Each structure stands twice: as structure tokens, then as C-alpha cells.
Amino acid sequence: LKNYVSRNISLIIIFTVVFATNAIYYFTAFPGFSHAYSFFLISAFLYFSKKFSQEKKKKQIYLLAIITSFILITRPVNVLVALVFFTENKFTDLKSVLKWKDIVAFVMLGLLICLPQLLYYNYLTGSFMTYSYGDEGFTNLSKPYLVEFWFSFCNGLFTYNPIWFLLVFIAVFLSVKKSRIGHFTLLTFIIFSYLLASWHAWAFGCSYGSRNFVDFLPIYAVAMAVFYQKFLTKKIIPVVLIAVYIGASTLYNFTLMKNYEKCFFGDHCWDTESFINKNLLK
């Protein structure tokens, strides 16, 4: 983040994406889920992607290939975020430092990293490739539960973490301003909202908020930094208003986390009374 903004602003952004969201919940209460590790891997990918844009060294591409392989085996669908590389770089930048032997090396390196997982699958199931979710899948692709996924009390993205209103606003604003990171964050939000709302259990069981979006928070952190760098510097009133909103969102998040019982136990996903009484006024 310090590639874009000062150290103090970087710390505020880190505070926002960790403490005003359910990231802190999955970093501390449920670190057995994959989300904390995906958060780290995507952060590392962003870091070395930026380093390559500055230095254009081949070793950074090798590091990105290694990180991409770990992203793939940690949560396969997240490999799509590797395209964020092109928000800072161009395809011609890759061509200028890579040769065909490097492409072959990347493939071999990726297979080597994935091999332990493939061997484990083979040990368990007799097959190197297996679908570990069994009969579960994206059965609602023709009718995704987007409204429920975003706003219901069954782990709604905005309901549990209203800071996402700000993050999505920034993505839209940057996109309108023709920023590549804006286009990418907005596209990421739309694509993954659609996919996750199409999952057969779109609320993802006993969760705190839409836990899948924890993985992508580092990308939104960079978008926040670009937003501040290009449009908020020396603009006191918007900065103060955003700071107040971040503070209020953090207070709301910690109040909800303190009272939350791992699952929403209302009568239905729009049971406002149960949500408020059990989680906010408890």
C-alpha cells in the first residue's frame, strides 16, 4: 500500500479491511477456514505484481507463478484473481522478460507445487483429480439469490459488514474514472457475487457474513489506496466523512461479532426482530 499512499494512510486502510469486515473473525475465531490463507496469498500476489511493474525482473514472475499455484490449490476458483496482474502491467511487459523455456518452467513448477495435493487425492479416492464437494454445486446459475446474498440476515454481505457499501462505491467510482483497478474490483465483485449467490447453499451454512469475500479484500485495499491517492488528497471533508463511516462500521462489526452465535437462528432470512435482538441489542 505504501507504493500508493503514506504509511499512516496505509495503516488506516489495513485497519479498515481487517477490523471493519469479517476478516478479523476468520483470522482469529475460525482460522481453520481457507480465507485467511487466501488473503495472504492474494496480498503476496499484489505485492510482487507491483514489484514487477517497477523493476521488470524475471525472478518476480517466477515468484508470481509459485504464488498462483498456491492460490489454485488453496481455493481453485480464486485463481481468477491472478488477472489483477494486468492492472499494473501489460502483456508486452511479460514478453520482454520471458522466453519459451520460462513458460515450460512455470508449468513444471506449478505441477510440482500441486503434486502433494494430487497425491493425497489419489490416496483418498483412487483418482488424482476429484471434486471434493460431492453432490454440492452451483445449482442456481439461472436464478442466483443475489438480493439474499447481499442483504438478508443469512450472512448477507452488506448486512453483516456495511463497510462493503464504501468498498463497492470506490470500485464503481474508479471504474467510471477509467481506472484499471476500478474495473477489476467491480468486475470481481459482480462475478463472484453471481457465482456465490448461485451456490446450492448461498448462505454458506454457519458463517459470519459472506466469508468468501475475505479472500479478495487485499484487492479492495489497493483500490482504496488508489482512490485516496488520486481523488482525496487534501480534501478534508470527504476524508472525515469516510473516517466516521469506517469507525461506525468497525463498531457495528465488533458489536455483531461479540454477540453472534456462529449461525443466524432467526425463523427466516428476513427475520429483522431476531437479528436485532439477538445480535445488536443482546
Express each pLDDT in 256-278 by its tens digit: 999 998 899 999 999 999 999 98
Nine-digit cell string for 10: 496505509
Distance of CA 38 to the CA centre of its chain: 8
| Tally: H helices and E strands in the chain | 13, 0
Q: What's the pLDDT band for 98 if we cut at 50, 70, 90?
A: confident
Give start and end residues of each alpha helix (H) in 161-276: 163-176, 180-197, 217-231, 236-259, 272-275
Q: How far apart are CA 185 and CA 8, in angstroms?
A: 23
221 backbone dihedrals φ, ψ, rounded to 5°: -65, -45
Helix (H) or strand (E) holding 262: none
Residue among 89, 90, 198, 85 nearest 140 (CA): 198
17 neighbors 23 (Cβ within 8 angstroms) = yes
Q: Which residues of 236-274 are buried (b: 16+ CB within 10 A; e: fewer)?
A: eeeeeebeebbeebbebbeebbeebeeebebeebebeee
Q: How far apart are CA 21 and CA 204, in angstroms?
A: 17
Q: One-letter amino acid identity for 41?
A: L
Mean pLDDT of 166-171: 97
Q: What is the pLDDT of residue 208?
A: 95
Q: How large a percentage of the chain has pLDDT more than 90?
A: 78
Q: What is the mean pLDDT of the chain?
A: 93
Q: How far apart are CA 165 and CA 157, in angstroms?
A: 9
Q: Answer whether residue 70 shows pLDDT above 90.
A: yes
Q: Answer whether residue 96 shows pLDDT above 90.
A: no
Q: Answer whether residue 42 shows pLDDT above 90.
A: yes
Q: What is the pLDDT of residues 178-192, one digit of tens each?
A: 999 999 999 999 999
Mean pLDDT of 198-212: 93
Note the residue count of the chain.
Answer: 282
Q: Answer whether residue 78 shows pLDDT above 90.
A: yes
Composition of the chain by helix, strand, coil, percent to 5: 70, 0, 30
Q: How far apart are CA 57 and CA 35, in angstroms?
A: 30
Q: How large a percentage of the chain has pLDDT more than 70?
A: 100
Q: What's the pLDDT band for 1 if we cut at 50, 70, 90?
A: very high
pTM of the model: 0.91
Nine-digit cell string for 167: 468498498
Q: One-letter amino acid identity for 280?
A: L
Residue among 255, 253, 244, 262 nearest 17 (CA): 253
Q: What's the pLDDT band for 102 if we cut at 50, 70, 90?
A: confident
Q: What is the pLDDT of residue 103?
A: 85
Q: Answer whether residue 132 shows pLDDT above 80.
A: no
Phi-psi region of 155 (alpha: psi -120 to 50; beta: other; left: phi over 0): left
Q: What is the pLDDT of residues 219-237, one digit of tens each?
A: 999 999 999 999 988 889 9
